[in-house]
Each structure stands twice: as structure tokens, then as C-alpha cells.
Amino acid sequence: MKQTGRDITKPLCGMEWGDCFALNGDGRCEALEDTDFRRGTCPFYKPIDQEMMECAASLEQLKEGGREDLVKKYGMEKQKTK
């Protein structure tokens, strides 16, 4: 989900980590509209490697359940991997 280029409509992430799957190349969050976490850390944070493993597991579960239609509809086979 890493992207390059500037998108100033996305909020800057104020957290110290740089491995969140939702960050684009400019340190902006692609998942949330508001990154002002008054209660501490981001409740949405997930490392990229964890996100990739969960996506792969979800893809496998859809395939095993015969839901190739959803795999195709959402372009899951085309997702970038690291």
C-alpha cells in the first residue's frame, strides 16, 4: 500500500513508527481521515508484514470457500507484495 507522490488531502501521521501499512511515501495515512489520537497511540496501526500475512490468509480463505468472484471483484490477486 506504499505510495509515492504528494497527497495533501490525507492527514499526516503523528506516530513515531514508519512501518504501518497505511502510510504512504509522504508519511500520510491512507486509512484514516483524522490522526489526532487524544488517547495515545493509533488504534489502527499494523505493521506491513502483519498486514501482508493477514491479506494472504484472507485470500486463501476466500479461495477455499469458492469465492473466486470476490477475489476477482476486489482485485486481490493483483495486490503488491513485499
pLDDT in tens, 24-53: 878 888 888 888 877 777 888 888 999 999
The answer to whether the beta carbons of residues 33 and 39 sit under 8 Å apart is: no
The answer to whether residues 40 and 63 belong to one domain is: no
Answering whether pTM is above 0.85, one says no
The answer to whether residues 39 and 54 belong to one domain is: no
Cα separation, 25 vs 66, whole angstroms: 36
The answer to whether residues 6 and 22 belong to one domain is: yes
The predicted pLDDT at position 78 comes to: 61
The answer to whether residues 13 and 41 belong to one domain is: yes
Cα separation, 56 vs 62, whole angstroms: 10
Within its chain, how far is the Cα of 44 from the centroid?
10
At residue 62's C-alpha, the angle toward residues 56 and 52, to 5°, is: 15
User: Which range of residues forms the domain containing residue 65?
Assistant: 48-78
